[in-house]
Amino acid sequence: MSHTELRKLAFASLRHTTADDSINTSIPALQLSQFSSPTELTALVYDPCICIVMQGAKEVVLSGQPYHMAAGDFLLVSVDLPVDARVVSATSRAPYLGLKISIDPRVVAELLADGSSVGAASPSARGLAVTAAHPQLLEAVSRLVGLLDEPQDIGPLAPLIQREITHRVLTSSQGIRLRQIALAGAPASRIAEAIRWLRVHFAEPLRIETLAGKVGLSTSTFHLHFKNVTTMTPLQYQKRMRLQEARGLMIGEKLDAATAAYRVGYESPSQFSREYRRQYGASPRQDVDAVLTANSQTQ
């Protein structure tokens, strides 16, 4: 880890963020975050991306398993994954500073077009991992963030630096997690295709045999590799997506629980309420009221 590059990144992030917020920047793939105190667990869906902690600490929870990120660590997510995340170390004098850079699977495929391969029969690796960021990666990320001070250079240079960042990740110790997703025919690549379908069609009835056939896998092989990559069964993944979408509808559009439940594919509001309570520890109304109250207090 390069402490110099980490300090440069932290300084640049402070200039381009405001306290207690995550912002989308003028570089479409780049998001910056700054928080002056620890936060509650928040449900979200990561798309393929890397996240780097520059100051403070963060925790990401996937299917009950926590992943701790300290300053200088980077999180790699290779497929769309529903997780819970929170800032665990932050103060007003030393705020949490983090960034997220989306990864374009098309760029991954282009970089692998030179014939690099991963055995299609190898076990599928989990689609999320945390490791220390190596100096070359931090240096490339620092140059990308630096473009925020030179907006006229973002158009021509940001795609080139993002391509370099993807290359650095692919050639890192965690690169297998990206390579397996991009290799046509590999089981993990087919699981990524199934996940993309589920992200769009989560409100529809799910037949595992049909989805497995859609991506060219037997039902047993599909189950095995899906759980390897996501830590969830396809039905658990669909349920998590439905609950998170419903929660967003109740908070963002002020929908009542029954309407939100039907919108995301539930046929029984009572079943929705039971599963919601198991996921979030409170009834839909109690949880949403708590979130809205907390939001009003921070405004």
Give residue 142's pLDDT: 94
Residue 33: give its domain's CATH number. Answer: 2.60.120.10
Q: Which pLDDT value is given to residue 184?
A: 74
- For the stretch 57-92, pLDDT in tens is 999 999 999 999 999 999 999 999 999 999 999 999
Has residue 13 been placed in a domain? yes
Choose the final residue of a domain: 147, 180, 213: 180
Q: What is the pLDDT of residue 115?
A: 55
In 205-267, which ranges are continuous DSSP H helix? Answer: 208-214, 219-230, 234-252, 257-263
Domain that holds residue 288: 236-298
CATH number at residue 287: 1.10.10.60
pLDDT tens, position by position, for the chain (299 residues)? 567 889 889 998 889 998 888 999 999 999 999 999 999 888 899 999 999 999 999 999 999 999 999 999 999 999 999 999 999 999 999 999 999 999 998 999 889 886 544 444 456 889 999 999 999 999 999 999 999 999 999 999 999 999 999 999 999 988 889 888 888 788 999 999 999 999 999 999 999 999 999 999 999 999 999 999 999 999 999 999 999 999 999 999 999 999 999 999 999 999 999 999 999 999 999 999 988 887 766 65
Does 209 fall in a domain? no
Q: How many domains does the chain have?
A: 2
Q: From CA 51, how far away is CA 77, in angstroms rounded?
A: 8
Q: Please indicate, yes or no, if residue 124 is contained in any of the structural domains.
A: yes
Based on the fold, state whether residues 15 and 137 are members of the same structural domain. Answer: yes
Which amino acid makes up residue 151? P
- How far does the chain reach from its first CA to its final CA, in angstroms? 37
Q: Within a domain: residue 64?
A: yes
**Both 20 and 151 in a single domain?**
yes
The pLDDT tens digits for 20-45 are 889 999 999 999 999 999 998 888 99
User: Is 77 part of a structural domain of the chain?
Assistant: yes
The verdict on 55 and 145 lying in the same domain is: yes
Asked whether residue 197 is domain-assigned, the answer is no
Q: What is the pLDDT of residue 292?
A: 83
Give the residues across from 97 on adjacent strands: 34, 55
Same domain, 274 and 175: no
Question: Domain check: are 17 and 139 in the same one?
Answer: yes
Whether residue 286 is found in the same domain as residue 155: no
Specify if 53 maps to a domain.
yes
Contact 106, 56 (CB under 8 A): no
The verdict on residue 222 lying in a domain is no
Domain stops at, among 146, 161, 180: 180
